[in-house]
Amino acid sequence: MLRQNHYSIAAIRRSLARFDSGSGSGAVLALNQPDFGEEDEFISAGDHWLEVLELFADRARIIQQLVSEEIRKGSHDTPPL
């Protein structure tokens, strides 16, 4: 399921290692917050950027919906020529 949500193998491995060490809540955080100094820090940074890009894409869709709604409202409020 994590791979289907575009998490890298490195992020999943990091999360499972945290879980195995007894930090259940830290396991979730480990998916998106890399431990710098690890050999796979570039992959972890990529995971972070994917998360940020998905967040901005979601926000862009919301803005697009709001603009479309305002355009539709405006077309109904405009008096005929």
The alpha carbon of 64 is separated from its chain's Cα centroid by a whole number of angstroms, namely 19
pLDDT in tens, the chain (81 residues): 777 766 777 777 777 787 888 867 777 677 677 665 655 566 666 777 777 888 899 999 999 999 999 988 886 665 555
Return d(Cα 67, Cα 16) in angstroms, integer.
42
Distance spanning both ends of the chain, measured CA to CA: 56
- Domains of the chain, by residue range, sit at 9-77
What distances in angstroms separate CA 25 from CA 15, 18, 20, 28, one per listed residue?
10, 9, 11, 6
Return d(Cα 47, Cα 35) in angstroms, integer.
12
What's the pLDDT at 56? 93
